[in-house]
Amino acid sequence: MLIPMQWRARFAVKAFLPTLPTLPWLLFPLALQTLVTGCATTRPPADTFVTLSLDASATVNPDSLGRPAPILVGIYDLKTTAAFNASGFAPLQDHAKASLGDNLVAFEQLILRPGEQRTLERTLERTGDARARSLGVVAGYRELNRHVWRVAIPLPAAAEPSLLTLWPSEPQRLVVHVKLDDSGIVVRTLNRNPR
C-alpha cells in the first residue's frame, strides 16, 4: 500500500519529536546549565568607599609669631608605599606622578584653614592594575623636621568573591579620621565596614 507523500512527512516528523511528558525533562538540564554558568561569574573585587575626615586644629602650622596658618594637604591612592615613604616633601607635593610613577593611582590636594574640618568621600579602585592598597596623607607644615608630615594608611584587603556568587558583594566601606595638630598628622580612628 502506498502512503501519500504528505502523510509520510508528518509521520517522519512525529516519530522524531519527543512526547509531551518527556519534553520538560530534556529542557530542564539545558535551563539548569544556563542558570549555573550565568551565575558562576567571577567578579572582580568591589571598590572601597572611603570617608576621609580631615580635622585641622585651631593652632595648626604656627608661623614665627605663633599665629596659626593654613596648611596644604595631599591625599594619595597608592599601590605600594615604598616610593611614597622614600620621597621628600617637595617631590610628593609638586611632582607626585613623577616621584611615585606607577605606584600612584590618584592624587588630590586641598588647603585647610586652622580649625577647619572637611569630609571627603572617595572611591578607591580595587580592580585591575590600578588597585589601591594604601592611602597616603602629606601635610605641608612650616617646619617639616619638627612634625609628622607624612602618613601611609594600609587599606584592608579587597574581598575576593567566591566562585559561585549569586549576589554581588557589598562594597567595602572605610572611615578614616585624620587630625592635623601641633605634633603633625595623627590617624585618630580607622573603622572598617562601619554600620
- Please name each of the domains of the chain with its CATH number: 5-39 (no CATH), 48-192 (2.60.40.4150)
- What is the full per-residue pLDDT of the chain (195 aa) written as tens digits? 555 555 555 555 555 555 555 656 666 666 767 666 655 555 555 677 889 999 999 999 998 899 999 999 999 999 999 999 999 999 999 999 999 999 998 899 999 999 999 999 988 766 666 678 889 999 999 998 889 999 999 887 766 655 555 555 666 788 999 999 988 999 976 776 555
Q: Which three cell numbers stand for residue 145?
A: 623636621
What is d(CA 152, CA 136) in angstroms, rounded to the nearest whole number? 4
pLDDT of residue 20: 52
DSSP for 48-93?
EEEEEEEEE-TT-S--TTS----EEEEEEEES-SHHHHHS-HHHHH
Query: At residue 192, what is the residue type?
Result: R
Whole-number pLDDT of residue 149? 94
Question: Which residue matches cell numbers 508528518?
Answer: 10
Query: Length of the chain in residues, anyone?
Result: 195
Q: For residues 154 and 172, what is the distance between their CA atoms, to the nearest angstrom?
A: 14
Please tell me the distance from the alpha carbon of residue 195 to that of residue 77, in angstroms, as a whole number.
24
179 forms bridges with which residues in the sheet?
55, 186
